[in-house]
A = this chain, B = another copy of it.
Amino acid sequence: MAKEQLILFLGTILFLCVESKYIAYNTSQGVVPGKLNVHLVAHTHDDVGWLKTVDQYYVGSNNSIQGACVQNVLDSVVQALLADKNRKFIYVEQAFFQRWWRDQSEAVQDIVKKLVSSGQLEFINGGMCMHDEAATHYIDMIDQTALGHRFIKKDFGVTPRVGWQIDPFGHSAVQAYLLGAEVGFDSLFFGRIDYQDRAKRKREKSLEVIWQGSKSFGSSAQIFAGAFPKNYEPPPGGFYFEVNDDSPILQDNPDLFDYNVEDRVNDFVTAALAQANITRTNHIMWTMGTDFKYQYAQTWFRQLDKFIHYVNKDGRVNALYSTPSIYTDAKYAANEAWPIKTEDYFPYADSANAFWTGYFTSRPAIKRYVRLMSGYYLASRQLEFFSGRRNSGPNTDSLSDALAIAQHHDAVTGTEQQHVANDYSKRLAIGYKEAEQLVSSTLACLVESSLNAGCQNPVTKFQQCPLLNISYCPASEVDLSHGKNLVIVVYNSLAWRRNEVIRIPVIEDNVAVHDSNGTEIESQLLPQAEAFKGLRNFYVKAYLGQTPPNTPKYWLAFTVSVPPLGFSTYTVSTAKRTGSTKSSVHTYQSNEKSRFEVGQGNLKLMFSTDEEKHSNYVNIRSMVDKEVEQKYLYYSGYNGSHQKDQQNSGAYIFRPNGTYFINHERQVPFTVLHGPLLDEVHQQINPWIYQITRLHKEKEHVEVEFIVGPIPIEDGTGKEIRDFRTDWDLEVNQPIAGNYYPINLGIYIKDNKTEFSVLVDRSVGGSSLEDGQIELMLHRRLLLDDSKGVAEALNETDCVADDCRGLTVQGKFYYRIDPLGEGAKWRRTFGQEIYSPLLLAFSEKDDKDDWMNSHVPTFSGIDSSYTLPDNIAMITLQELDDGTVLLRLAHLYEIGEDKDLSVKTSVELKKIFPGKEIKEVKEMSLSANQERTEMEKKRLVWKVEGSLGDGYVPSRGGPVDPTELAVELAPMEIRTFIIYFDDNDMPNLLADA
């Protein structure tokens, strides 16, 4: 029996027509002046690892976790673009694109090249991943961007024009001026800014701004920057068109039921007008896509074709296939004046209780591993340059790839699932292993003087110790009793000479250290703390699957002096005369009341055993004398299960539920070590926090080493451990606004007399919540997911068989108090040293050999008379696969940061490459994919509202004279060069066979 439809249909006669009804949609529309232009940007956001690993996302495996396959996206996008030349698509993440590209036949590659050159397929952002902006080091951001950009340049001859940081959880000014303007981007777009900020900007039509991210560069490194009205998805109103999405499709076949062209056109116009209402100019952008969409691109393009066709027939607004570049050009052409934005977009909150600041610290061990590998990558590329790059390997490519991927905003951030975190670590380990081999063989060649012979198989076998941080170093834990000598080559990747105390575990105490001249030097033995032994045994077993065969009794410490980009050699042997000095050790019992002082040099710390928290800090040179209190606390992780907003503390979100002091009520036993080179104060703060406070005689900062974990969870509550310093008696003039910030290099506070600086060995979250106080979040262990997608609790464990323990984190931070205005020098210089630790390579020799005579004991890659100026660092020295050399020099200081060093400074390139003839130097964009002059020529000059008012003219280094080859760097300037050497030169110190 017919149902209610009869009402409609018994009264009308409808002849169904069965003729062919092919509709050719008109999708050719471009920008139309005078109309509201809706720029439809077809895009996919493909996380380079998150719930699945990068490879799983690429091939589409492990779909039970998340249905996502990037191979589908790229395969189907190509087909869809070929089907209509007006269609456009942007692709972002080069880690995926490169995987796909390598799988393609030449025929497909040719097609794709044409799509790129016609602009149908446009690379946007163009780094290997869409890096995070909080937990990443700027050198890593540059490297990963350059890696993607140079691939695009090489295979497609194009340079991405737009920054596209649509998903990272807040945004750094560094992204705007450095990874934006200095890369040559015309604009930068992103999806996540604080919800209150967004609301205000919508009201004021200031989502789109001119962002001047750098105080030093001002308008010379500004960029057009747009925050989206909401996330990076299609507008409200039902415009999701993935396979199986349930937005109403535009049904335009009158022979079928549910014809809805008018309805859908109205939906489109409504959404467009709503967005126009919060946007300046008559151009709005719709981000038509979201995470891992376009798995079958036709589903989107079919609908977009129809919308463009029918919306333009309707005529109220103008819809067009567009890209962020086309959109940027349209914005620029509108000749509007835009609001100015300075500073960061941090921290990011998407609702009142959802501050995305937990991830500044989440997975602290991975954060440290990434930082360690970053420094190692810098050093190993230098050595690769010295020995000559081998495209066939071993080379640094694998480490380069792994590091690039690790910068993804769900990698180093700690917001990925555990198995994905493991994947990143695995990739880094593989990359490291290959680079380690390269480093060892290069050092072997260098010590064997066999560079010019194209050293392939040096005799010397060097070992390195990546687990030295947990005192595991089989290479140094050797029996020297039968006349063996341990040879240690110490490589310095900084372009300054460097004097520093290094330490290695040794199994005997009767040892002596000799320098490159064969002179015995002072050394100090420090007993291995019990806390380290446990750490070492468990983690060596957990990571390497074996129990360490030896148990070293001591750390052997001695001072090394290493030339710039070079090495010195030291030997350790059985002491024939005095040998190493054993540290004196005194343990204060918990009931013992006493005061004691540590520090052999200018800096002294005075401790009081009955007042664990306080110590007096005195620098007899700078006359700083301050009281410092240090404590550990934890935040209890919020459990939102029974709350209205259900917001837990988790991998992304920091939502504390009360602050707890650790060990407040009982005395901490102190063990104090004194020696000629350094003093240490050991404290077992509680059963799972161990701390060593270390003062080196020749240094004026305090080094604090901590071992935190496993964080106990027996009470069912997650915890976030902070190191906390309060009651410091400065008058703070510039307190950081009441919230957490990402700390990459360090943090400092100042008053009108002094500044207090803390430097870190990895990214952490931190703050200064009260005047005179700084806190760092060191470790996090949480039992609940925070509902931001990762769908796992941040509860890291490591296992030996069935013995699984919460992750223990070992690390260091450093602090120092300087007279006001004098802290920057330490922060900048020592910051570089933390980033680029000395690289140790170990070998053995028989007693009868005279290593120093038969080998090259010292080496410097730059002219022996030269060193880089104090304010300049060499952040990249790399031989590229075409034999040219990529060099980046960075001025480390902001304008006004240091009275002596914030000045324009010159570097002599000839001195950096002794013995080589520089044929040509091309200054490049930061990502080295175009010449700087070209980039500057194309730079859009945006109008800004009002004026900055200070008449400030940014300073820049001038052009490089091809004869003089001196490079000027103004404050904060980073200059990137490709250097061509004379063909007659050996391209490198070592050449391929």
Contacts and interface: CB of A to CB of B under 8 A. Distances in A.
A392 B798 CA distance: 76
A434 B397 contact: no
Nearest to A75: B298
Contacts of A76: 296, 298
Contacts of A434: 13-15
A932 to B, nearest CB: 28
A841 B432 CA distance: 90
A428 B249 CA distance: 25
Contact of A244 (B14, B67, B398): B67
Given A72-B298, A258-B56, A543-B3, A243 B243 contact: yes
Given A1-B365, A2-B543, A16-B398, A9 B430 contact: yes
Contacts of A249: 59-61
A579 to B, nearest CB: 33
A4 B299 contact: no
Contacts of A295: 243-244, 296
Contacts of A298: 72, 75-76
A543 B1 CA distance: 9
A545 to B, nearest CB: 4
Interface in A49-87: 53, 55-56, 58-64, 67-69, 71-72, 75-76, 79
Interface in A652-698: none
A246 B299 contact: no
A915 interface: no
A425 B1 contact: yes
Interface in A419-460: 421-423, 425-426, 428-430, 433-434, 437
Given A104-B22, A368-B1, A243 B55 contact: no
Contact of A10 (B18, B64, B296, B433): B433
A544 B1 CA distance: 12
Nearest to A64: B246
Interface in A891-935: none
Interface residues of A, number: 96
Interface string A511-545: 00000000000000000000000000001001111
Given A61-B248, A249-B61, A428-B2, A69 B243 contact: yes
Nearest to A241: B60
A3 B798 contact: yes
A422 B60 contact: no
Given A72-B298, A249-B61, A295-B244, A543 B15 contact: no
A433 B9 contact: yes
A12 B15 CA distance: 73
B426 A5 contact: yes
A548 interface: no
A640 interface: no
B99 A3 contact: no
A593 interface: no
A354 B513 CA distance: 85
Contact of A55 (B23, B256, B425, B543): B256
B59 A253 contact: yes
A245 B426 contact: no
Interface in A793-844: 798-799, 807, 809
Contact of A545 (B7, B99, B397): B7
Contacts of A1: 365-366, 368-369, 425, 539, 543, 807, 809
Contact of A102 (B10, B20, B246): B20
A545 B72 CA distance: 50
A139 B56 CA distance: 53
B244 A63 contact: yes
Contacts of A251: 55, 59, 61
A846 interface: no
Contacts of A14: 398, 430, 433-434
A434 B16 CA distance: 10
Contacts of A542: 4
Contacts of A103: 20-23, 253
B369 A2 contact: yes
Contact of A9 (B56, B61, B426, B437): B426
Interface in A1-53: 1-10, 12-16, 18-24, 53
A655 to B, nearest CB: 26
A105 interface: yes
Given A13-B433, A67-B243, A299-B60, A423 B257 contact: yes
A848 B295 CA distance: 75
A260 B71 CA distance: 17
A98 interface: yes
Contacts of A79: 79
B425 A5 contact: yes
A299 B941 CA distance: 46
A255 interface: yes
Interface string A462-497: 000000000000000000000000000000000000
B544 A19 contact: no
Contacts of A99: 256
A433 B6 CA distance: 10
A992 to B, nearest CB: 15
Contacts of A8: 426
- Of A2, A14, A101, A428, the most chain B CB neighbours within 10 A belong to A2
16 contacts: A2-B369, A4-B799, A7-B544, A10-B544, A13-B394, A13-B433, A14-B430, A23-B103, A55-B251, A55-B256, A60-B249, A67-B243, A67-B244, A71-B302, A76-B296, A243-B244
Given A16-B401, A18-B397, A243-B243, 14 more contacts: A1-B366, A1-B809, A2-B543, A3-B422, A4-B799, A5-B425, A8-B426, A18-B98, A55-B258, A59-B251, A67-B245, A72-B296, A72-B298, A257-B426
A-B pairs, top 4 by smallest CB distance, nearest first, are A67-B244, A1-B365, A296-B296, A5-B426
